[in-house]
Amino acid sequence: MANLAPGTVIGRYALFDALASGGMATVHVGRLMGPVGFARTVAIKRLHPQFSRDPEFVAMFLDEARMCARIRHPNVVPTVDVVADDGELFLVMEYIQGESLSHLVKGLQARGERMPWRVALAIVAGALHGLHAAHESKDERGVALGLVHRDVSPQNILVGTDGMARVLDFGIAKAAGRTQTTREGAVKGKLGYMAPEQMAAEGVTRQADLYAAGVVLWELVAGRRLFDGDTETVVLAKVLTAPVDPPSKYAPDIPKELDDVVMKGIQRKVSARYANAREFALALEKLGPAALGEVAEWHGPDVADGDVDGRRAVAERAPAAALADRDGHLDGGARPARPLRG
């Protein structure tokens, strides 16, 4: 199914236009088509077809679903279902009205603005609370999973129009004791946010997520990238050895206490960082982050991508009809429509 027409049904879900695409999957807006007229908008992550034939990638995708399903926290995007259809895999997640933090940052950069530091505190503190829930997650026997996100970045933090930050995409997460693991020696994630010990392919713990969150916070407050370069080699060298200025050098309006919290979060020495994500979050909350309502007001409906809103509206207009057969066709057959992008 290289191209899917909007309205194509997989299992109990109708698939519509793409919202975003990453290295392993594309996220679509979708619609749960339940009985007696019940319907619900969802986000559906579709594994890229070229990967669905790779058993290792399929196992990684299923690992994400199993682990994410165990995390129950307001600051984590919930996993709803997994669907296998016609040789492809789909991960169904709750649809959150909002924007990725990276999208919001790009908008600020285009306007030559910096995010208000209290808003930045609220967003990162929320993400840290979500990460802590993931780090503390347990299996059905009560045994800690040892879950680590390993790819905390602005692209994987969603800021809802309700003002709440949510962590998403545990696609390259690594849990101790899971059946499948990422390829040995493969360095994954976005280099500018990767902890030094992660780059060195050492044992990666939850501390790598705290470090990455600290880098995100530094960049939001300072209004610029912390580690940037034209090549991966340059970025790698900066992460490992370049001196780091406090964010107040670029944002003189922030309190000194914020400098101290940020700099502790991005210490290269693991033992010098916060003990866990909750401790980091509480340190930020002592500095007076914006309330959810303030973040929502700052976010504003004008910040939202109107095209995304339009795609959601198309999904919500879909008929909530019962499925006609096991092959996944709506009563009356599929509607003719343009292929999905990507």
Among all residues, which ones are annotated catalytic?
151
Give the integer Cα–Cα distance in Å for 63 and 58. 9
Give the integer Cα–Cα distance in Å for 150 and 67. 14
Give the integer Cα–Cα distance in Å for 129 and 108. 25
| Torsion 197-198-200-203 (CA) sign | positive
In what helix (H) or strand (E) does residue 293 lie, and over which residues does it extend?
helix 292-303
- Type of residue found at 156: N
Cβ atoms 115, 105 nearer than 8 A: yes
Give the integer Cα–Cα distance in Å for 214 and 234. 20
Burial of 332 (0-12, 13-18, 19+ CB in 10 A): exposed
Give the integer Cα–Cα distance in Å for 243 and 239. 9
* Antiparallel, parallel or unpaired: β 13-21 and 25-33: antiparallel
Maximum CA pair distance of the chain?
64
3-state secondary structure of 218: helix
Residue 148, strand partner residues: 174
Burial of 286 (0-12, 13-18, 19+ CB in 10 A): exposed
The residues near 157 (Cβ < 8 Å, ≥ 6 apart) are: 100, 101, 123, 127, 165, 166, 167, 168, 216
